[in-house]
Amino acid sequence: MILTQRFARTALVAALLLVAVTSTRAADGFKVSAEKEKEQIAILRSDAPPQDKAIACKKLAIDGSSECVGDLAKLLSDPQLASWSRIALEAIPGTAPDEALRKASESLEGNLLVGVLNSIGVRRDANSIDLLTARLQEKDGEVASAAAVALGRIGNAAAAKTLRASLADSRVNVRSAVAEGCVLCAERWLADGQAADAVALYDEVRKTELPKQRIVEATRGSILARKGDGIPLLLEQLRSNDKKLFELGLYVAREFPGSEIDKSLAAELSTATPERAAFIVQAMADRKETVVVAAVSKAAASGPKPVRLAAIKALSAVGDASSVTPLLETAVDADEDLALAAKATLAELPGDKVNTQIAAMLPNAKGKTYPLLIELVGQRRIEATPALLKAIDSSDKNIRQAALLALGETVSLRNLNVLIAQAIGTKNADDTATAQQALKTASVRMPDREACATELAAALEKAPAASKILLLDILGDVGGEKALKTLSTAAKSNNPQLQDAGSRVLGKWASLDAAPVLLDLAKTGPAAQFRNRALKGYISLARRFAMPDQDRADMCQKAFDLCKDTTEQKLILDVCRIQPSTETLKFAIKLMKVPELKEDATQTTLVVAQKLGAKGINVGEQLSKAGFEKVKVEIVKAEYGAGATQKDVTAIVKKQAVDLPLITLAAEGYNASFGGDPAPNTVKQLKIQYKINGKAGEATFAENALIVLPMPK
Amino acid sequence: MANNAMQLPRRRFLKTALSAAGAAVMAPTIIPSSALGLDGNVAPSERLIIGGIGIGNRGLYDLGCFLEQSDIRFAAVCDVKQARRTLVKKMVDDKYGTTLCDMHVDYRELLDRSDIDAVLIATGPNWHCTMSMAAAKAGKDIYCEKPCTKNIEQSLILRDTIKRTGRIFQAGTQRRNLPHFAFACELARTGKLGKMKKVFAHPAGMASMLSGWLPAEEEPKKEEIDWNTYLGPAAYRPFNKALLNGFHFEKGGGFIGAFGAGGVLEWGSHCVDLCQWAMGDCEPPIEYNPPKDGHLIAKYANGTELIFREKEWIPLGSCPVRFEGETGWVEAGDSGKMVLSSPELLAGRTVLEIGGYPATFHVRDFLDCVKSRSQPKTNALAACNAHIACHAANVALYLGRQVKYDNKTNTFIDDEPANRMRSEALREPWRL
């Protein structure tokens, strides 16, 4: 559902009017605060620095009333505070701000005057017509342009009269702003039901010598304001030699209301150049509710190639069952581009009737169309199992294999055994790989994976040795309780090949339900290499998946108890690094007591501590308990950057320094921690000059490296 | 909950190179560019001429996405910072093997150029709307980074001006052109999850991002940093280098904490946009409540709740969304993965898994629409509606109470303080 565009009636007007209304009935709704207003007025009247007055203005935008307008108005001539003042003056309802802005406009000039005129426009102050009319004649083109746009925003008859008279202004930039104002006026009139007046004004702009974009805007308005009578003008744009106007035609063709335009666009296809017709077809297809499908189908069937390609593609969105037969013909066309486009569209054509038609055509299909229909059955997942089962017995290899693949996409659990039989014992050796691919596709698609796994497990028992591995792999893809149990059994069987396959698949399992199975296999597996594989799989689960911190720490401990060497133990330290928490920090600290792991565990502890520090978690106490001695750290200077581009980050690093040589940052990564990237696309370093316990040291760190200050010698 | 859910990536996703994925998912509504002679050797006269304004960190990424396209020529860069102008020129000239990329300090010079068809606007959010309006009035099509507007009024004017000028506008909310997010939205939009009950969006925090009036520092030479132009439509304050982070400067509404805020808008412009796409590109919610227990709850006219929350997400990467209907749910994030309440929702379809937040497809969508004049995925109307929802949520956040919004009048109901936050005057001489 695309929303109706109400751009013609600008929300600005509605909003401002409503704001004005709500201000008078604020007793029924939420009120502004007179008390807060007083506080801010006091700041404006004080000797407070400009930044405080700026904030006061901002707050008065919410709580100000006519009481503060005088104080705000005084700031309109202040180059620093004028913009802040206008934030409040634009927002406060009532006539006082309008009067203040009008009065200020009398004495200001340059940008300050432009700002005030802009605010008058935003407030749509109808009492400003005279002053804006005068300012429209200003020598300063920026002032005149601001006045023109403000008049456009006011948009009443008087404003339009002034603007019309100024369309002949000799200055191009002012004329352009006047035209902008005229278009705003016309838009408002159209929204108010004055379509004829709007058309006249749009057309007046169109006839004026202006920058092309203004003409584009007026032409669009003129077409839409004419409603049904705007079609000839729209078609004129589609025939224009001007690229911008042709583009406008394509744009408006999509937003033009009603269905008459669809017929006109269809007719236009026969006269437009092929390049343009290709774009017009796309515009037609974007009008899904009213498009003349027959015209698009006709363009798809014959004619210049660019138009055919565009039309074929368009049918994928707007075509129907009537498109199937001609597209099938094109899909076997000798022209490869056309054939590919037609195939792609056939796969996407919307509607159940399309599926019904394809299924009905399949049993009697012949020649090139037969494998194509089979392929479509698979792509569109059409239920046509009997016809596909017949096709897998075809003497034509291409037909057989297309049918197997289509079965993979469509077969139900009831007929899965057909694919299993083909995959583990096909009549044709040529079809084995295809059948296996189809079985995998079908198996992972089954909604009831437990039932699917039961079928596969049953087949496993009877399958020849070579096929058992395949079935175990597919069970791994299917997942679930039954698959886990079957793989566990295989991994603990007496058959070395099944042990290998079972432990391999389990070792790559990608959900936590395998954790107890892997732990058991790691303890009781039939051979060391498979126990080792299971242990690695178990650790991998701890590393990869979300779980409570304590559960992860428990997994780390259980894995650690089974580790046979430091290589395996270091994998557990990886878990701590990747999944930092207070629990994994405790675990890493614990491993610091294992002599052969001390160095790695210490490094891990610091990494985890830094990551936790970045999340605002205080780790100082734990580190102190772990034996990291407290030291006095003073940061002398810190710079981050590359080459001559260095950012002084001393204050940030100082703030993060504690009584440890580790500096934990406030965010992940140096750029985020140091307020941005000082040298984009360049390798950067962090250099720190510091003192530890009074001794001076200096260290350099590669971008995003752990920051551990070496003890000065 | 996450552990019981069907982990689709494992079962169904194809891992495909980005380029291949692009070929598979882009150009949904237009004819193959090859048919128009737009692939490979594109005639110079057929190329779209692009200019870039405010090309910083994200802008450089966007620029890379534009430069990948063979049917454009990037002709000029405009930036108030000399270092950035020089960097972009080098990047572009290196790409083309020329020295032709022009540099401008004043964006109006760039917009005045008749050779430029479209602009990439990647300034800080302070400038986004004002500059987009100027570009539209200058006859340029616009790819504008998000957040696109600073308040409700700007959102409406953006929508109306783009229509009035007949321009193509694409907000830089590229997730609409990523397959898994698009699929998740499609599930919700087409009723596969049943009647929608709740949609969830992740804000980048709900705190203020201050960028106020800091102590004056010595202003750099104008050639190095043009401070006046950097300030642009923002109310005056003296130079302070801490304010030069355009990403944060004046982000998000201009009133929170007195100087602007951004968390809700920063990610909300992405996540809320997706939520509203999932709801059929609906109008913004009509009721907004201040945060309670970490949830800021808004309510659409049909009763569906939009919930901003920072926690309780399945770990699927940044900018996650979740859509809950009466019969199913889906959650997706920047990892490229999604989790469904049931594999049946996939209906056998393969959804490409593209992690991170690549904008290549979004840029391509924009360029295709510049040529065809069709509406891109995140057009001005969609962007307007998403931004209004974020701004209105910010109003509830600031006032610390419920506010009710009328989509017909685009005003808060019986709520003068809230209505006064709908807009904010621009510094002279700027106007929308």
Bridge partners of B119, per DSSP, are B51, B142
Give the chain B residue nearest A378 (alpha carbons): B348
- Give the least confident one: B6-10, B85-89, B230-234: B6-10
pLDDT in tens, A399-425: 999 999 999 999 999 999 999 999 988
pLDDT of residue B187: 97
Q: Do A213 and B165 touch (CB under 8 A)?
A: yes
Structure tokens at B187: 């599930």
Q: Where in chain B is the domain with CATH 3.40.50.720?
A: 15-174
Of A90, A254, A381, the CB nearest to B348: A381
Q: Which CATH architecture has domain B1-14+175-353+378-432?
A: 2-Layer Sandwich (3.30)
Q: Residue B321 is inside which H or E element, if any?
A: strand B321-325
pLDDT at A25 over 70: no
Question: B72 forms bridges with which residues in the sheet?
Answer: B48
> Taking a C-beta distance cutoff of 8 angstroms, is the pair A376, A401 a contact?
no
Among candidates A54, A116, A248 on the partner chain, residue whose Cβ is nearest the Cβ of B166: A248
Q: Could you report the per-residue pLDDT of A163-195, keeping only the tens digit for each?
A: 999 999 999 999 999 999 999 999 999 999 999
Quick one: which H or E segment has residue B48?
Answer: strand B48-53
- Is B251's pLDDT higher than 90? no
Is A676 in the B-facing interface, judged by CB distances under 8 Å?
yes
- Tell me which chain B residue has its CA closest to the CA of residue A342: B31
pLDDT band for position A644 (50/70/90)?
A: confident
Report residue B171: phi and psi, to 5°.
Answer: -75, 145
Residue B380 binned pLDDT confidence (cut-offs 50, 70, 90): very high
Give percent above pLDDT 90 in chain A. Answer: 78
The string of pLDDT tens digits covering residues B274-305 is 999 999 999 999 999 998 888 999 999 999 99
The β-bridge partners of B104 are B78
Q: Which residues from A are below 8 Å from B255, CB to CB?
A: 58, 61-62
- Nearest CB among A213, A250, A513 relative to B373 is that of A250
Q: Choose the closest CB to B281 out of A1, A51, A180.
A: A1
Which pLDDT score is estimated for B375?
97
Q: Would you call B332 helix, strand, or coil by DSSP?
A: strand
A121 contact B CB<8A: yes
| B-proximal residues of A, 91-110, CB under 8 Å | 91-93
**pTM confidence score:** 0.80
Nearest-CA neighbor of A478 among B4, B343, B352, B346? B343
A306 has a chain B CB within 8 A of its CB: yes
Q: Do A5 and B381 touch (CB under 8 A)?
A: yes
- Tell me which residue of A394, A397, A423, A429 sits closest to A408, measured CA to CA: A423
Q: Do A22 and B415 touch (CB under 8 A)?
A: yes
Inter-chain residue contact B282 with A3, CB threshold 8 Å:
yes
Spatial distance between the Cα atoms of A581 and A576, rounded to a whole number of angstroms: 8
Rounded Cα gap, residues A190 and A144, in angstroms:
26
Which pLDDT score is estimated for B2? 36
Query: Does A19 score more than 70 pLDDT?
Result: no
Asked if A447's CB is within 8 angstroms of B11's CB, the reply is: no
Interface of A with B in 496-535 (CB under 8 A): 510-513
Alpha-helical regions (H) of A545-645: 549-562, 566-578, 582-591, 598-614, 620-625
Q: For A330-378, how does the pLDDT look when each residue is reduced to its tens digit (9 = 90+)? A: 999 899 999 999 999 999 998 899 999 999 999 999 999 999 999 999 9
**Amino acid letter at A401?**
Q
Q: Residue A555: its chain B contacts at CB < 8 A?
A: none
A-chain residues within 8 Å CB-CB of B36?
275, 278, 306
All structural domains of chain A, each given as residue ranges with its CATH number in brackets, are 421-425+433-597 (1.25.10), 633-702 (no CATH)
Mutation target for B interface from A4, A9, A12: give the one with most B CBs within 10 A: A12
Q: Which residues of B touch A83 (CB under 8 A)?
A: 235-236, 425-428
Interchain CB distance below 8 Å, B342 and A447: yes
What interface predicted TM-score (ipTM) does this complex get?
Answer: 0.89
Domain with CATH 3.30.360.10 in chain B: 1-14+175-353+378-432
Got the DSSP string for A420-445? HHHHHH-SSGGGHHHHHHHHHHHHHH
Phi, psi of B144 (to 5 degrees): -120, 130
Report yes or no: B329 and B317 within 8 Å, Cβ to Cβ. Answer: no
CA–chain centroid gap for A439, Å, is 35
Measured in angstroms, the CA of A220 and the nearest CA of chain B are apart by 8
Interface of A with B in 265-304 (CB under 8 A): 275, 278-279, 282-283, 285-286
Instruction: Give the architecture (CATH level 2) of B15-174.
Output: 3-Layer(aba) Sandwich (3.40)
Q: What is the pLDDT of residues B150-209, one digit of tens each?
A: 999 999 999 999 999 999 999 999 999 999 999 999 999 999 999 999 999 998 776 554
Inter-chain CB proximity B35 and A248 less than 8 Å: no
- List chain A residues with CB under 8 Å of B371: 279
- On the question of pLDDT at A14 being above 50, the answer is no
Q: A15 and B410 in contact by Cβ < 8 A?
A: yes
Residues 6 or more apart whose Cβ sits within 8 Å of residue A409 = A377, A378, A379, A381, A441, A442, A445, B348
- Res. B252 pLDDT band, cuts 50 70 90: low
With a cut of 90, say whether residue B214 has pLDDT above it.
no
pLDDT of residue A158 exceeding 90? yes
Least confident span in A455-464, A544-553, A673-682, B83-92: A673-682
B12 to chain A: which residues are within 8 Å by CB? 444-445
- Average pLDDT estimate for A577-596: 92
A303 confidence band (pLDDT: 50, 70, 90): very high
| Min Cα–Cα distance to chain B from A529, Å | 25
CA A411/CA A445 separation, integer angstroms: 10
**Interatomic CA distance for residues A642 and A635, integer angstroms:** 20
Say whether A54 and B213 touch across the interface (CB within 8 A): yes
Please list every residue in chain B whose beta carbon sits closer than 8 Å to the beta carbon of residue A21: none
Which residue among A3, A32, A675 places its CB closest to the CB of B281?
A: A3
pLDDT band at B14 (very low <50, low <70, confident <90, very high): very low
The letter for the amino acid at A684 is K
CA–CA separation, B377 and B170 (whole Å)? 7
Looking at the predicted structure, is the pLDDT value of residue A630 above 50? yes
User: What does each C-alpha distance from A122 to A190, A375, B32, B176 come to in angstroms?
Assistant: 20, 60, 45, 34
Nearest to B420 among A61, A309, A313 (CB): A61
